[in-house]
């Protein structure tokens, strides 16, 4: 399936992202946008994207954008992830993320974001990340 021309394969991947992919990205740091073309393997029995896939994309987008908004990148671990599902996507839809890094502290970092299908927001997400190795 076609991928928007300004996107390329996500450079930082993992075994779980390899299972979900191909996942694409554009931008970097706080401007990172992650995109995915919805396939049958991403869908529930109703033929729409599964909430767990959306949660995974939100977690990755929020975490990567926040971590890589600093140089050197901040080692983050998800402490809390909250999602509100306001719509859905179907096979063939292109979905992409947008992230707003709220705060990066010595112990915690905060970010909010959305997952969109076109101009429609289908997920609102918020995350709190613990800085790995930070003194408690």
Which structural domain, as residue segments, surrounds residue 70? 8-131
Number of domains composing the chain? 1
pLDDT (tens digit, 9 = 90+) per residue, 10-19? 988 898 999 8
CATH value at residue 127: 3.10.129.10
CA 121 to chain centre: 14
Return the structure tokens found at 120. Answer: 């429609």
pLDDT (tens digit, 9 = 90+) per residue, 72-89? 999 999 999 999 999 999
Domain for residue 75, yes or no?
Answer: yes
- DSSP labels, 41-86: GGB-TTSBB-HHHHHHHHHHHHHHHHHTTSSSPP-EEEEEEEEEE-
The pTM of the full predicted model, rounded to 2 decimals, is: 0.93
């Amino acid at each position: 399936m076609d991928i928007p021309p300004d996107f390329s394969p996500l450079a930082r991947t993992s075994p779980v992202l390899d299972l979900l992919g191909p996942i694409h990205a554009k931008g970097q740091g706080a401007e990172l946008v992650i995109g995915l073309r919805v396939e049958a393997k991403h869908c529930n029995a109703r033929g729409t994207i599964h909430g767990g896939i959306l949660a995974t994309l939100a977690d990755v987008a929020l975490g990567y954008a926040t971590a890589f908004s600093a140089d050197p990148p901040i080692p983050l671990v998800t402490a809390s992830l909250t999602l509100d599902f306001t719509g859905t996507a179907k096979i063939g839809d292109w979905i992409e993320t947008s992230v707003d890094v709220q705060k990066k502290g010595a112990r915690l970092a905060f970010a909010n974001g959305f997952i969109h299908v076109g101009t429609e927001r289908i997920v609102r997400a918020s995350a709190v990340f613990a800085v790995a190795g930070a003194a408690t």
